[in-house]
């Protein structure tokens, strides 16, 4: 039982580490995690931005033996399908989702962040939200719950998936090609990416809160 628990924790550690995930699971596990992060309630726990950048970096250094065009296209497709799954979940739950109680993998506060972002930017939030942790998981679910037109949703979904995959992966790829030794410091690069994306999200939340306070007064 203890050994089983240790194996489970080790596997979970791999899933949460972009570097280990790609080294152990390759393209298949990468695509599975991207799909989960963009389509399932618990997906927000995965390091999406860092994962894409690391995949590009390893592709550039040869540690991930996949053609860069295939990598970008397959990740974009996985993210596209993930959002469709999220939309379907929201469509199925409908307004009930706003009364759903918090669980280990679902928090109303995360849905509220996504709702604030959607209220502010509308359908474009499906594009910009791709670059924000947590928001990219819950915005498609919210879009389904409020019954956003499916074809309009998929237009934003397609553009967002392509931009997300087509920017972070090539950036990592170019760094891996130009400075192969950067792979030895990937954890610091990932930390920097995480700090930047979290700063953007926190700044957006603060601005939204300030505007709400001004409206109240």
Euclidean distance between CA atoms 71 and 59, whole angstroms: 8
Tell me if 2 is assigned to some domain. no
Tell me if 1 is assigned to some domain. no
Euclidean distance between CA atoms 3 and 213, whole angstroms: 52
**Does residue 167 surpass a pLDDT of 50?**
yes
**Of 169 and 132, more confident:** 169
Domain of residue 140 covers 19-216
Tell me if 93 is assigned to some domain. yes
Q: How many whole angstroms from its chain centre is CA 64?
A: 20
Tell me if 5 is assigned to some domain. no
Tell me if 49 is assigned to some domain. yes
pLDDT score for 108: 74
Within 8 A by CB and 6+ apart from 64, the residues are 22, 26, 27, 55, 58, 71
Total domain count for the chain?
A: 1
pLDDT tens for each residue of 62-88: 888 999 999 999 999 999 999 999 999
Q: Which two tokens stand for residue 62?
A: 């040869």
- Considering only CA atoms, which of 87, 106, 100, 81 is closest in space to residue 31? 81
Task: Measure the CA angle with vertex 122, ends 116 and 128; round to 5°.
Answer: 80
**DSSP character at residue 102:** P
Tell me if 6 is assigned to some domain. no
Tell me if 77 is assigned to some domain. yes
Tell me if 14 is assigned to some domain. no
pLDDT tens for each residue of 200-217: 656 655 665 566 565 555
- Considering only CA atoms, which of 122, 128, 153 is closest in space to residue 140? 153
**Of 112 and 139, more confident:** 139
């Amino acid at each position: 039982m203890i050994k089983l628990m240790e194996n489970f924790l080790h596997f979970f550690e791999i899933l949460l580490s972009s570097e280990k995930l790609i080294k152990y699971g390759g393209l298949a596990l990468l695509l599975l995690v991207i799909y989960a992060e963009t389509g399932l309630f618990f997906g927000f726990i995965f390091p999406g931005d860092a994962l894409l950048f690391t995949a590009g970096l390893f592709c550039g250094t040869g540690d991930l033996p996949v053609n860069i065009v295939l990598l970008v296209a397959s990740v974009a497709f996985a993210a596209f399908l993930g959002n469709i799954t999220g939309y379907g979940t929201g469509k199925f739950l409908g307004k009930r989702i706003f009364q759903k109680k918090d669980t280990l993998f679902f928090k109303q506060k995360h849905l509220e962040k996504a709702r604030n972002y959607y209220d502010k930017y509308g359908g474009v939030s499906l594009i910009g939200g791709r670059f924000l942790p947590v928001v990219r998981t819950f915005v498609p679910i919210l879009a389904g719950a409020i019954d956003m037109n499916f074809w309009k949703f998929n237009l934003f979904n397609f553009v967002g998936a392509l931009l997300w995959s087509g920017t972070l992966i090539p950036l990592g790829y170019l760094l891996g090609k130009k400075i192969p030794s950067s792979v030895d410091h990937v954890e610091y690069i990932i930390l920097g990416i995480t700090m930047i994306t979290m700063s953007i999200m926190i700044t957006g939340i603060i601005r939204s809160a300030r505007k709400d306070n001004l409206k109240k007064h």
